[in-house]
Amino acid sequence: MSSEFTFDPFLKGALPADFQWGYATAAPQIEGAWNADGKGLSIWDVFGHTPGKVKDGSTCDDACRSYDLYKADVARMKEYGVTAYRFSLSWSRIIPLGGADDPVNEAGIKFYNNLINELLANGITPFVTLFHWDTPQALEDRYGGMLNKEKYTPDFIRYARVCFERFGDRVKNWITYNEPGVYTLAGYAAGVHAPGRSSFRDRNEHGDSSTEPFTVAHTELVSHAYVCDMYKKEFQPTQKGTIMITLHGNWSEPYDETDPKDVEAAERAREFEIAWFADPLYGSGDYPASMRQQLGDRLPTFTEEEKRLVKGSSEFYGMNSYTSFFMQHRDGPADINDHKGNVIVHDKNKQGVERGIESDTPWLRTSPWGWAKLLRWIWGRYKTPIYITENGTTAKGEHDWKPKGPEDVLEDPHRIDFFRAYVGEVAKACQEGIIIKSYFGWTFTDNWEWAAGYTDRFGVTWVDFESEDKKRYAKRSAYFLKEYFGHLIRHD
């Protein structure tokens, strides 16, 4: 079959034969059925129903209706040629009240069993994330959720145990937390995501941006480590799966590469964003010295047992990244609420070079040059095999598209150019000997994009959110990636 796309012949077969690729999603963003079949409230159900919190005033009540349409979605994934699918479980669908002593919702278990079985029947490997930002509201109400490590950790361990017991015979790829840093910073530093806490009283009634993000991050790392320990001791010997965590982090480049202070600022920004979690997990076993220096005792301290449990707990490096920024040093002491490492963030460097082509999302610009550097930085610092668990873009003009018929395909050259460049850099890194084991595009369908509501279309499938059945239409990028990975993955 001849292709409408052309590919770099030097990259043919650059990815290993067992390389997994597909798309990533999160339960609150796609499932809908927010209160159906015994599901409890999550913090995002509450946040979305709070006026003024979501850009377009929408909620995730229906989202993409994946809860009802999962079979058709899996059939579409198969058509797109994916080998794997990364999705998250809704904690409050499985344990509506969330706690260690609270009852399990069998209807929730049944839904995920059906989804897992459908994927496997279609030759698609499930990658399952336990937590993608949707803490059960009951735990928030009881004790403040992740602000209380002692009470939260046993509840998370019990939830994980239920998932391993019920799904672990078929699920072999587990992720504990998705982007613990983004959950922490958006929810507790900026207060623009659930649970909506910060020091900024014009925005949030409660919270302390100078301490709570670091408390919550510590809870995530420690509870992750306890879950990994349990999995490896009690489930891995028979289930033969693996377990990891997924970290976020964009590339930080010096604003003036000839200024040692800017070079230092860029490295410090990477440490505050990425090494904050990755150093305790894969590196020194503790938080970066640059963070301790700026934050002092606002940064929690690991006990010796915690340090031992956290380091080496994640078997692989789960990596989510999208773009790059320029960092300039800031003179004087850091603001009490600073969490970036006392830097000034720019879209252009000192020479006026832009960080990349604009998407439909202000923070996200296409910058494969930084992505390439980030892959090497992570590998160089941690020497841990990488699973790329999210990467993708929005594109301008997609809201106004009107399909002419059921088989109409949206042309999205911006997204194709993005994928060509970023996935190409993955292939080049593999040729250099960096071990990269997967690539999951964000995302499968346009979805409810958290506080942006339905205003950000990240999918390779266009969704008609006005239609009752959230009708889906392919975008050209879905077929591009199918052929691209066909070219890049070695066929032994």
The answer to the question of residue 4 being in a domain is no
**Per-residue tokens: 451:** 């506080």
Residue 367 lies inside a defined structural domain of this protein? yes
Structural domain range at position 446: 9-488
CA gap 289, 352 in Å, rounded: 32
According to the model, what pLDDT value does residue 2 have? Answer: 52
pTM over 0.75? The answer is: yes
For the chain, the C-alpha Rg in angstroms (whole number) is 21
Say which amino acid occupies 334. Answer: A
Residue 382: its pLDDT value, please?
A: 98
pLDDT at 1: 45
- Backbone torsions φ then ψ of 50, nearest 5 degrees: -95, 115
For 83, 405, 419, 480, 483, the CA distances from 1, given in Å and listed in that order, are 20, 25, 22, 14, 11
d(CA 419, CA 368): 9
Report residue 61 as tokens: 């009540």
List the end-to-end C-alpha distance of the chain, in Å, as a whole number. 20
- What does the buried/exposed string (b/e) look like for 22-45 if buried means 16 or more CB atoms within 10 Å of the residue's CB? bbbbbbbbbbbbbeeeebbbbbbb
DSSP secondary structure letter of residue 50: S
Report the C-alpha gap between 183 and 195 in whole angstroms.
9
CATH of the domain at 272: 3.20.20.80
In a domain, 471, yes or no: yes
For residue 348, list its beta bridge partners: 354
CB 11 within 8 Å of CB 488: yes
103 falls within a domain:
yes
Beta strands 242-247; 173-178: pairing state: parallel
Going by C-alpha positions, the residue among 108, 128, 80, 93 that lies closest to residue 482 is 80
Would you say residue 3 lies in a domain?
Answer: no
The ranges of the chain with pLDDT < 50 are 1
Can you give the pLDDT at residue 4?
A: 81
* DSSP secondary structure letters along 302-359: --HHHHHHHTT-SSSEEEE---EEEEEE--SPPPTT--S-SEEEESB-TT--BSSEE-
In a domain, 2, yes or no: no
Residue positions annotated with a catalytic role: 179, 390
Q: Domain tally for the chain?
A: 1
Nearest to residue 461, comparing CAs of 396, 407, 389, 410? 410
Whether 132 is covered by a domain: the verdict is yes
Residue at 1 is within a domain: no
